[in-house]
Structure 1
Amino acid sequence: MFNPQTLQQFNNTDTPFYYYDLNLLRQTLNICKQAAGRYNFKVHYALKANFNSAVLKEIQVAGFGADCVSGNEVKAAIANGFPAHEVVFAGVGKSDREINAALDADIFCFNVESVQELLVINDLAAAKNKAAKVAIRINPNVDAHTHRFITTGLDENKFGINIWQLDDVVFTLDNCPNLQFIGIHFHIGSQITELDVFKDLCAKVNELSDWFEQRNLPVKVLNVGGGLGVDYNAPHENPVADFEHYFKIFNEHLIVKQGQEVHFELGRALVAQSATLVSRVLYVKNGINKNFLVLDAGMTELIRPMLYQAYHKIENISKPQQAEQKIVNYDVVGPICESTDCFQENVQLPESHRGDLLAIYSAGAYGEVMASSYNLRDRVQSVYSLPEAELIKG
């Protein structure tokens, strides 16, 4: 994956670091934009996946909107050039301060997750003599067949409003003059690879769109969320998510009435493959039953394997693939004082030595944004590859 010139530059760079392939990011954005544009779908980028400023700039320039789940994400989106009228604000626990700031910024829409939140937004908007645009986030009770920690659309989930509460929603909307209902919002989970579940989501969206229309609440926006997964197992072979199939499912199964817009909130699918965590082997510990490679990166730089038992492909990029190489099974671990600080067990790698560079791929989503300074660790730098093949540090 990395040419000799790049590897030489890696050797001269302090590790660990996040390496961003901006060429791949631009390619991914273009493919997604073309696939969505075929059906006039609108895509908002989910900032929670990665809010690195260079990444945000690429996405903003490509013409995507912004999906935010905190007040600071709203601020970051606008500061990085996303127009406020293309910013949506979701999140189950919006504070009054965050809501007021979003009202002052005149964002496009609040994705509302409870009846009580509707009342709070109405009161805060009234104090400013404003009307807040709102979409109702509904739990459609669709099983996304993904990890239980990242499924979000089932009944009795902390996110969204359950279907049996919708009569209360209608009553509240009818009695809140400072709310402007514009649509319905859904998000059933993350890292979804069985795309047929989106057909089930479409059926629910169609049903609920009719339900609101029948109660004299016209639905302008059908926001179906995101969740499209990426190939963590074979990032080299499949560096771009299957946007064509994904959007085609919604085009074929979603009933879009005249005047309605279809919005998506994609994060991981846009950025995951664009970054690699590059780390150096500090120590090799060979035992009777296990061999360990102790890296200078750990759960403070990429927590997904420890938090979700997530798989990331790992390669020793200091050892070119050779037919006669000795292959060793290693547990690849970090330096953090926690037993769970393990990227992967029983990784087959060429025999490795202190100083070797390891690449942990697909780190562009929920890598840098979830980094911490636990154990008083330094925050690590980011390195970028530009179209001119120049590496810059930031």
Structure 2
Amino acid sequence: MFNNNTIQRFADLETPFYYYDLDALKQTLDACREASVKHNFHVHYAMKANFNPRVIDTVQAYGFGADCVSGNEVKAAIEHGFGKDKVVFAGVGKSDKEINLALDADIFCFNVESVQELEIINDLAAAKGKVAGVAIRINPNVDAHTHHYITTGLDENKFGINTWQLNDVVDTLRKSANLNFLGIHFHIGSQITDMEVYGSLCIRINEMQDWFEDHGFAVKILNAGGGLGVDYYNPDTNAIPDFESYFSVFKKFLNVKPGQEVHFELGRALVAQSASLISRVLYVKNGQKKNFLILDAGMTELMRPMLYQAYHAIENLSRGRGAMIEEANAPGTLQPAPQIKYDVVGPICESTDCFRKDVDLPQSYRGDLIAIRTAGAYGEVMASGYNLRDHVKSVYSQ
């Protein structure tokens, strides 16, 4: 991802910043589009992963839809050219203001997460003389085998509607003249790399669509959500997720009936590998048991490692992967730079402000450029102004 010209360019820039490799992003989008079109699947981009303007403009140009979880995301999607017929609005706590905004925009579908929400959308739509398309988000109680902070499809999660509530759902739909039932929606979690999990999800989707049809509701949309993971450990050798295997699971196990559409909501898988957080070493602290690299980036720029112990590969760009140094007793003779274990930490006044512990890096010095890889998803969008920090900047490959 980083050649000498790119690293030299970084040397003249103020850090920290997010570096977006737009070529890498386009290669990923190409792979996703090719694999999904083969099966006539519809992909919506989960904007919560990254709503950097250049990123969402690039995604929109590929013809994907938009999956939004706030009124402002709905607004941004439409402003950036996503057709209203490709915008879906999910989220467990949609406010009246946000629902009204989406109704005024005539979006394609609300992914509804409670019976009460169905009633509210129906009332607000009636007040405007509109009919709102809705899909019912169902908890399939499928374990995604991922971090418990990003598991969303179990019965005890706050998201979605549990199966024992479905009779109330259909009763509400029958008496709601301003709702148009489109289908069923699922999302079981994030950073899922076990394809067998998606096979289990397909079984539950098949059961649920049969249940709705048995109760007199035609299911037009099967929305399987997203959650496909990426390789945080090998961002160069495994840069593009296996979209082919992912979509093939649904092609094989999902019972798609004539006239139905299958929708997906992918975020991380599309954008994670497209960006790195670039920082500089402010200080090197060498102790008896621990060595610290103190960076000018911290949890205010990238929260994931502190929030749920997420792994990111870390590189010293100034020293390189095969860095050599001159032997002390033999001037002009080069030897491999020693590898030292560092705790790579930020400047924030919190003990949790640590990107990773015991990272093997070439011996590092003040001013060295550090890259924290695979930061294109849930990186810049989660940045904060804690400690009254400047908002992190963005730099692009083109």
Question: TM-score when scaled to structure 2?
Answer: 0.96
Corresponding residue number in structure 2 for 1:390: none
CA contact (8 A) 1:312 1:362 kept: yes
Q: Could you say what secondary structure the match of 1:330 adopts? A: strand
Q: In structure 1, give the amino acid aligned to 2:342.
A: Y
Corresponding residue number in structure 2 for 1:129: 129
Corresponding residue number in structure 2 for 1:356: 368
Q: Could you say what secondary structure the match of 2:110 adopts? A: strand
The alpha carbon displacement at 1:19 in A equals 0.2
2:263 & 2:150 partners in 1: Cα distance?
A: 21
Corresponding residue number in structure 2 for 1:392: none
Q: Could you say what secondary structure the match of 1:139 adopts? A: coil
- CA shift digits 1:127-158 (9 cap, x unpaired): 01111000000000000000000000000210
CA contact (8 A) 1:152 1:188 kept: yes
For residues 232-247 of structure 1, the aligned pairs below 5 Å read 232-247=232-247
Question: TM-score when scaled to structure 1?
Answer: 0.97
Corresponding residue number in structure 2 for 1:373: 385
Q: Is 1:325 aligned to residue 337 of structure 2?
A: yes
CA contact (8 A) 1:90 1:112 kept: yes
Q: In structure 2, give the amino acid aligned to 1:325.
A: A
1:157 & 1:352 partners in 2: Cα distance?
A: 44
Q: Could you say what secondary structure the match of 2:395 adopts? A: strand
Q: Is 1:170 aligned to residue 170 of structure 2?
A: yes
1:380 & 1:156 partners in 2: Cα distance?
A: 36
The alpha carbon displacement at 1:348 in A equals 0.3
CA contact (8 A) 1:122 1:178 kept: yes
The alpha carbon displacement at 1:367 in A equals 0.2
Q: Is 1:341 aligned to residue 390 of structure 2?
A: no
2:156 & 2:217 partners in 1: Cα distance?
A: 25
Corresponding residue number in structure 2 for 1:35: 35
Q: In structure 2, give the amino acid aligned to 1:72.
A: N
Corresponding residue number in structure 2 for 1:67: 67
Q: Give ranges in structure 2 of 5+ residues lacking alignment.
A: 324-334
Q: Is 1:157 aligned to residue 157 of structure 2?
A: yes
- CA shift digits 1:159-194 (9 cap, x unpaired): 000000000000000011100000000000000011
1:237 & 1:182 partners in 2: Cα distance?
A: 41
CA contact (8 A) 1:156 1:162 kept: no
Q: Give ranges in structure 1 of 5+ residues lacking alignment.
A: 387-394
Moved over 4 A (4+): none
1:243 & 1:250 partners in 2: Cα distance?
A: 11
- CA shift digits 1:205-225 (9 cap, x unpaired): 001101101111000000000
Q: Could you say what secondary structure the match of 1:241 adopts? A: coil
Q: Percent identity?
A: 69
Q: Is 1:384 aligned to residue 396 of structure 2?
A: yes
1:287 & 1:201 partners in 2: Cα distance?
A: 50
Corresponding residue number in structure 1 for 2:94: 94
- CA shift digits 1:27-85 (9 cap, x unpaired): 00010000000000000000000000000000000110000000000001011111111
Q: Could you say what secondary structure the match of 2:27 adopts? A: helix
Aligned residue pair count: 386
